[in-house]
Structure 1
Amino acid sequence: MPLGSEQKGIATFYDATGEGNCSYDKSGDLMVAAMNREQYADSAACGQCVDIVGPKGNVRVLIVDQCPDCDKGHLDLSRKAFDKIAEAKDGRVNITWTPVSCDVAGPVKYHFKDGSNPWWTAIQVRNHRLPIQKLEWRRDGDWKSLKRESYNYFVTDSGVGEGRFQLRVTASDGQQLVDSVEKVLDDDTVDGAEQFAPQK
């Protein structure tokens, strides 16, 4: 979904925790939402920020989940986020919404899924300003793509091997960051060096 492209749709609300199909941890910041299945696009929408305008106000949310029964344009918001754009008693309201750059601090982060090892490796990009298009790795030689799963991890069933390797992450607008990682971790996170520039 191109940043800045206005969408029309509806909003509902659910009891969000920050967890969900994107495999993020519970969050203290509950300005979050679930994306309809079509625009979730097998987790491509995970970590996307969206500005929403509703009947009584506007709010910015982070996409953390998928709403499998929602039609295109439909966003299912946390109760807290819904309260900023409409009355809870309305339950279902018309909205316009626009994908935007996230206001994040610090560099991107790479989280290794529990069970990751040199022979089966699953990595999630976190704290990114723009949606993630792809993640690649290399030790020597050519870059190899990691397969994106619908639960928002990039996975290689043969692993990346032992010791130091490089990661290259590409944002939705084509910006790229390259980082060196000392080794595969298990259920742990490592900081990258940089952050994507905001999209104008």
Structure 2
Amino acid sequence: IALNRPQFFNSLSCGMCFKVHGSGKGLGSDPIVGDSTVFVKDLCPECLAGSVDLAENGDGRWEVEIQAVQCPVGSTKLEYKFQGSNPWYLKLQVRNARIPVTGLSVWQPKSHRWAAMHHSSDGFWLMGPGLFEKPVHPSAHTPLKMKLTGANGVVIEDQITQMGERKG
């Protein structure tokens, strides 16, 4: 779905799931009836608080109720999608999380500390120049130790064993 701006939180809501309930009340020829679990993928800039765009063919405006729920990812592992990452720049997106990730840090072996990554408006996490000790091929930097903070405050550690669209 595309989520309204007030609840999109500058893309921190990307990747979270909602239960959408429709009673068929509204206008148009294709009513929303019943419950569905949906995945937040985009921003609906014209939607008001509590509204969603289901991105389905059809017309109408339907009254719906939304409730945040854990994503039904089963026993899958976290995944990391990389975009434009190289020896000097890291840009990744966390996937298969049950709840949104609101903080992400990467371990800095040279300084022995966690360095916070910056969240971008397109749903990725960024770390610019200075991440690595010297510019070498990205695969030489793995495994990368990651610390993820969930919207509920729970912190977990994970590691990325390969750069690319791979499972951690």
Q: TM-score, structure 1 length as denominator?
A: 0.69
Kindly indicate whether residue 47 of structure 2 is the aligned counterpart of residue 78 of structure 1. Answer: no
2:9 is matched with which residue? 41
Give every structure 1 segment of 4 or more consecutive aligned residues whose post-TM-superposition deviation is greater than 6 Å.
none
Kindly indicate whether residue 108 of structure 2 is the aligned counterpart of residue 108 of structure 1. Answer: no
Report if the CA contact (8 A) 1:117-1:159 is conserved.
Answer: no
Report if the CA contact (8 A) 2:108-2:115 is conserved.
Answer: no
Residues 66 and 159 of structure 1: is their aligned pair in 2 closer, same or farther, counting only changes over 3 Å?
farther
Distance in 1 separating the partners of 2:3 and 2:145 = 31
Report if the CA contact (8 A) 2:160-2:167 is conserved.
Answer: no
Residues 57 and 159 of structure 1: is their aligned pair in 2 closer, same or farther, counting only changes over 3 Å?
farther
Match of 2:21 among 49, 53, 73: 53
Which deviates the most, 155-164 or 46-55?
155-164
1:90-125 deviations in Å (ceiling 9; x for gaps): x10111110000110311111111x21120110110
Distance in 2 separating the partners of 1:147 and 1:110 = 15
Choose 1 or 2 for highest CA Rg: 2
1:155 is matched with which residue? 126
1:137-179 deviations in Å (ceiling 9; x for gaps): 0132111110000101100121532523311111111122212
Report if the CA contact (8 A) 1:163-1:182 is conserved.
Answer: no
Residue 35 of structure 1 aligns with an amino acid whose one-letter code is L
Residue 139 of structure 1 aligns with an amino acid whose one-letter code is Q
Distance in 2 separating the partners of 1:45 and 1:182 = 26
Distance in 2 separating the partners of 1:182 and 1:64 = 26
Residues 77 and 159 of structure 1: is their aligned pair in 2 closer, same or farther, counting only changes over 3 Å?
farther
Q: How do residues 124-143 of structure 1 correspond to structure 2 at under 5 angstroms?
A: 124-140=93-109, 141-143=112-114
* Higher strand proportion: 2
Residues 159 and 94 of structure 1: is their aligned pair in 2 closer, same or farther, counting only changes over 3 Å?
farther
Kindly indicate whether residue 145 of structure 2 is the aligned counterpart of residue 166 of structure 1. Answer: yes
1:64 is matched with which residue? 41
Q: CA deviation at 1:128?
A: 0.9
Distance in 2 separating the partners of 1:58 and 1:120 = 42
1:29-72 deviations in Å (ceiling 9; x for gaps): xxxx1001121111111111100111121111000010112121
Residues 182 and 139 of structure 1: is their aligned pair in 2 closer, same or farther, counting only changes over 3 Å?
farther
Residue 124 of structure 2 aligns with an amino acid whose one-letter code is Y
Residue 149 of structure 2 aligns with an amino acid whose one-letter code is T
Structure 2 portions without partners, runs of 5+: 24-32, 133-139
Report if the CA contact (8 A) 1:102-1:128 is conserved.
Answer: yes
Q: CA deviation at 1:131?
A: 1.0
Q: Secondary structure of the equivalent of 1:143?
A: strand
Residues 143 and 96 of structure 1: is their aligned pair in 2 closer, same or farther, counting only changes over 3 Å?
same
Distance in 2 separating the partners of 1:160 and 1:189 = 20
Q: Secondary structure of the equivalent of 1:38?
A: helix
- What fraction of aligned residue pairs are identical, expressed as a percent? 30
